[in-house]
Structure 1
């Protein structure tokens, strides 16, 4: 009996060894996980628009791109994001298309500091240059800005460049106005307090700070005439035309305006296959983007090249050429 039991034990052990040798490599190969692609997405401040959009994009990529491990990180927004791309610290970034243009051409805040190692995926939604005054100021046209206290944005900011370029189309320089280099919040407070006559604000509309002013003060949106907008776009191709609807701010009339675009860019070292997969994943899941922030409703495949200010990445180009 003991001898028979011993023989059975030996047979079982040998069978196990044979099974291990025969199928081990195949099982090991099957269990091997796909190589992970770590994808860092630069966004903006946690209270802004870029951060929730970037978070939604990371979630979409993780669910739809095999092997992807994407994460969104809070940053100082457009200019900081370009520099992070330059230094290889992030793979994707949300930035304004005018900032992308300045970086790729070495102009404005990137003068003599050209950044060339990134390409476009898509433009997303408009960030409108709103020229805001109080009705009691009597300002109705940009020509009326001469001699007035004008908040043009923080020194060296994208808004300040927008203001200067628009004024240029009307033959107005900073010598013709009382320039005030104020941030977004400071400009809104200045209008409310009567320390500013007109303010340039680059943001999606309706803008909460302007809505707040309009509760107690009748505001006017100063329009940009079509011919001036055309000449502006001819010189600076990152601008697009847009209309600000009537009553966007209580009692304010419709106004013709121009906008820059929020856009998604990518480090040019990323492969075309990966960029194609990421682009397809995002544009196949726009409902998730819309759920992350109201501006998501403005992100469409049809408008994804409006105001594209840098060269498109081949992977994105492949996706957008598909029917």
Structure 2
């Protein structure tokens, strides 16, 4: 009788066990950035239907996300800028063992959208164009952030030299604006965020008295060098009606949703469910999520050298996309195109968080 009661109790618990949600995490960026809103959309509209409880974590940014996806328990997804991902690959190819250990097991889920790069100066600054930032004091985001990588990469591309460390300040976006407008210890704050970014959208009209955006001059030689890696874009007044009154030309970098090359059956099953949900509920993301979702295409274009999709999720999504295409009769539009101890740590390694590894 005791055995029978025990068996019945065990069986009564099975449905609860079967319905238990997987508990995953996604690393994003600052609390007032676009990445964290994208993460919350994925948790609400994609993870929930896939029976996944997705905890959305703030972070220092893309480089920090890459390292945390590799090493932090429970983190199954990360939002990463394309130039940060490529920088890790380049460091690995150059012999940096730490970079190789971190990046080689990472896999792409899908490309997302382009993030605008904001060059913010004081309203009374004599600077008007992005290519005028040479030799100026720049706030470029925390070490480990995608912003720091983008800012230092852009500086090197535009001026054929690294940003002098004496001119670099590694602080958060909020701290950067304070330093820019109060103690004036920086001349320009470089911020990477998809528009509309909460940091700027929450500003009052009085902000115009204190800060302005530098413009991209497509005739400048520095710009021509920059667009070999980054893409021209515009920051729209509709995104920040309290702040800007006309389009401001700037540069962008692509954002990616990234995971790890998992082989545990339990994890793979839930990641496949996430991929199916992402495909099936994509329209809801675009209709009810952050405005940036409207710029995302449900497709898996060819990736650059050294990049690869996570095969189980790729198969699931390609099958689902094909079914959606067959049902609608439409065709997806193609997308546009280890260090030795004695060697000094480079600026790129520093912003990737690889120094001292």
TM-score by length of 2: 0.64
Indicate which of 165, 168, 174 corresponds to 2:153. Answer: 165
For residue 72 of structure 1, report the CA deviation from its aligned partner: 1.9
Deviations 1:8-27 (A, max 9, x none): xxxxxxxxxxxxxxxxxxx9
SS in 2 for 1:170: helix
Match in the other structure for 2:275? 279
Correspondence 1:281-320 to 2 at 5 A:
281-286=277-282, 287-288=284-285, 291-301=288-298, 305=301, 310-318=307-315, 319-320=317-318
Deviations 1:169-224 (A, max 9, x none): 32254577961314212221122234432221111234454545733236132315
Give, in whole Å, the separation in 2 of the partners of 1:221 and 1:289. Answer: 30
Are residues 161 and 59 of structure 1, via their aligned partners in 2, closer, same or farther at CA, if it must alter by over 3 Å? Answer: closer
Contact 2:41 2:289 in 1 (8 A): yes
The match for 2:261 is 268
Larger Rg: 1
Is residue 124 of structure 2 the alignment partner of residue 139 of structure 1? Answer: no
**2:142 paired with 1:154:** yes
Asked whether the equivalents of residues 147 and 178 of structure 1 are also in contact (C-alpha less than 8 Å), the reply is no
Kept after mapping to 1: 8 A contact 2:129/2:215: yes
- Unmatched 5+ residue regions in structure 2? 1-10, 326-357
Residue of structure 2 in register with 1:43 after alignment: 27
TM-score by length of 1: 0.69
User: Paired residues, what number?
Assistant: 290
Deviations 1:13-61, CA, capped at 9 Å, x for gaps: xxxxxxxxxxxxxx99x97976978351323468344445434434445
Residue 198 of structure 1, aligned match among 182, 188, 200: 188
Q: Kindly tell me: are residues 231 and 172 of structure 1, through their superposed partners in 2, closer, same or farther at Cα, counting changes over 3 Å?
A: closer
Within a 5 Å distance, the mapping from 1:19-168 to structure 2 comes to 38=22, 40-44=24-28, 47-48=31-32, 49-61=34-46, 64-65=49-50, 68-76=51-59, 77-87=61-71, 89=73, 90-106=75-91, 112-113=97-98, 114=100, 115=102, 116-155=104-143, 157-168=145-156
Residues 87, 296 of structure 1: alpha-carbon distance in 2 compared, 3 angstrom cutoff: same
CA-to-partner distance for each residue in 1:218-274, whole Å, 9 max, x for gaps?
61323153875664454x4xx443222257553454333222233211221257776
Larger deviation, residues 206-215 vs 279-288: 206-215
* Structure 1: runs of 5 or more not aligned: 1-26
Q: Secondary structure at the match of 1:165?
A: helix
1:221 paired to 2:214? yes
